[in-house]
Structure formats: C-alpha cells, structure tokens
Amino acid sequence: MRKLLAAALCLAATATGCGASVEPAKEAKDARSTAVTLTNCGHKVTYDKVPERVVTNDVGITELMFALGLEDRMAGFAMPDDKGDLTDVPWKDGYDKVKWLSKDQLTKENVLDARGDFVFAGWNYGFREDAGFTPDALKKLGIPSYVLTESCRNGRSETARGIMPPLDALYTDLTNLGKLFGVEKRAATLIAGFKKEVAEVHAKAPAKSPKVFLYDSGQDQPFTSGRYAAPDQIISEAGGVNVMHDVQDSWTTVGWESVVERDPDTIVICDYGDVSAEQKKKFLLSYAPLRHVSAVKHRRIFVLDYVDLVESPRNPSAIARLGAYLR
C-alpha cells in the first residue's frame, strides 16, 4: 500500500522528484533577500529575508517544505513517532537529511537549540497558548513564523479554526511558501498537478453522494472533522459528503447522537496514535449506539493515515484512494 501511495504521489507531483532523486529547489538557492509581504490567516505579514534555518512542526507541515524542495532551508522538525512509516515515502531524502529535533511538542528551546530563524507550525499543530509557544512569543525572540492556513482561527470562538475550504488552504500555503522562498514555479507546478488529479477523481464521483463520517479518536465523544479540516474536502472531492460539514470548525468533538442521527454510509478512520486502526474499527463495530448506522451494519469502513487527513501534499492522493473506495 505504501509503495502504491509513493508512486501515486510521484505522478501527482513530478516537480518534486521522488526518493533519492529529490534535489533542493534550484530557485531557492538564488532567492532574493528583499522583504516579502504575505497574507497569513487574514493578516499582512512582512518577512525581511528568506529564512535559512526553518523549524517545522508535525508531518504534514514538514512535507509541505519537502514537496517544495526546501529541505536545505531547514534546521529540523518536531513530530511524534506515531505518524506512520516515513521510510517509504516520496520525501524520504528530506527525512534523512533534516534533523528530528523532538518526538514531543515543539518548544522555544527546540527552536533556539537548532538556531532556527523561522517557525512553520499551526494552532494545535505546535502553537498553543498553554505552553507559551505562539507566534507572538517567538516574535519577541526575534524569530518570525508562519501559521498553517488550515489551522487559522476564525473568530467563531476562542479556539474554532478554519477560514477557507481545505484544499484552498493547501494551495494558499504552497503559493505563499513559494513566494517567500523564491520557488514560485515549483509551487505553481505542484498546485496545477494536484488540481488536475483532484478534478479527475471528482469527475468519476457517483451520481448519489454517500454520507461519510470521519472518525479520528475518542469513545465518549468522537473527535472528527468539521468543514474546515482537510477531511471535509477530501470526502467531497472523492464523491461523498461529510456528515459534519455544517460544523464551522476544523478538528473538533461532536456527540455520538449526531452521528447516529445522520446515519453515514461510510466511516473513514484516521490511523495514528497508540490506538491502531484495527482497534478503532473493532470499537465502532461493537459500540451499541452505532449498531443501526448504515456504515456499521454494512461494515463500510475505510482507513487513511493521519498525514493523508491533515493539510499536506498527500491530500490529492488520499482523495484518489477514497474516491475509488466510494465508487
């Protein structure tokens, strides 16, 4: 499965190369040193120079840098080691070259120890107030940052996230990073390839869209995807409809009663963490309140990896695989 995934991603993003063939972006080597202004989470942000020692948090964010060929601009990444096998992916060379700074949450100490000059993370993807690790805190240390667009807070509550459709968030970040690092052509080529792959899958969608529920974790209350997390558009472009699309947040908890009421035809499991996909499936199939839900009755349960389901360059491939299952 992972070899098939790597092949599919290579076809979708030929500009990046695959495996040992990945080379640092030539454009980035000659990137200009003048200031660049970007719109990030609805705010204009000016960066005085091209970062040279980027620190990233989590697998999707890290692979956005790798997909753009920017591993030579990285000082390291933080990531728990429960995010799947990273040895057989298109960006293996990036993981081999860039230092794994921490298998816990990213901290200011990690960034300072790595002599980082830029942090690319997101709210609940590294940035968090409780530990004082925020863009404002980094700014006080003289370290600029960029917030993952999927995670932008939207003002509907103190923590609600998401300001645009998930794939638009992906394309926005690739475009912004391309501009910041001087790899606009590479970013444009990636985006064009992703859009073409997504359009081809969407064109094959079933006439009647099956209802899909994304199950991440939790037994008392399920953790799932509202309209602004990547699974929402992965599901819709694959030909389904997210039963939690009306929830104006990204990753969030809901009640099981709402899942039962909406009666999904298919459940997609997010595979990561200490609880395996098989254990999650066993729970869903044995949980009494779900026994009359169509997906459970017909055992229509599909598994995608964590990195497929957060904003990352693997999203189009996830759409293709889910689309094939839904058909």
- In whole angstroms, what is the distance from residue 70 CA to residue 54 CA? 9
Residue 2 has what pLDDT?
41
Residue of 32, 39, 83 lying closest to 57 (CA atoms): 83
Query: What secondary structure letter does DSSP report for 73?
Result: G
Residue 33 pLDDT: 60
Count how many residues are written for the chain: 327
pLDDT digits (tens, 9 = 90+) for 24-62: 555 554 545 689 999 999 999 999 999 999 999 999 999
Domains 2-198 and 205-326 belong to one CATH topology: yes
Hey, what CATH class is 2-198 in? alpha beta
d(CA 323, CA 311) in angstroms, rounded, equals 18
Q: How far apart are CA 102 and CA 174, in angstroms?
A: 25
Q: Which residues of the chain have pLDDT under 70?
A: 1-33
Specify the CATH number of the domain 205-326: 3.40.50.1980
Residue-level pLDDT at 125: 95
CA–CA gap between residue 150 and residue 140 (Å, rounded): 24
Give the separation between CA 315 and CA 310, rounded to whole angstroms: 8
pTM of the model: 0.88
DSSP 232-256: HHHHHHTT-EETTTTS-SSEEE--H
Phi, psi of 57 (to 5 degrees): -125, 130
Q: Can you give the residue ranges of every domain in the chain? A: 2-198, 205-326
Parallel, antiparallel, or unpaired: how do β-strands 74-78 and 100-102 relate? parallel
Give the pLDDT of residue 82: 80
C-alpha distances in Å from residue 162, one per residue of 42, 58, 222? 11, 18, 19
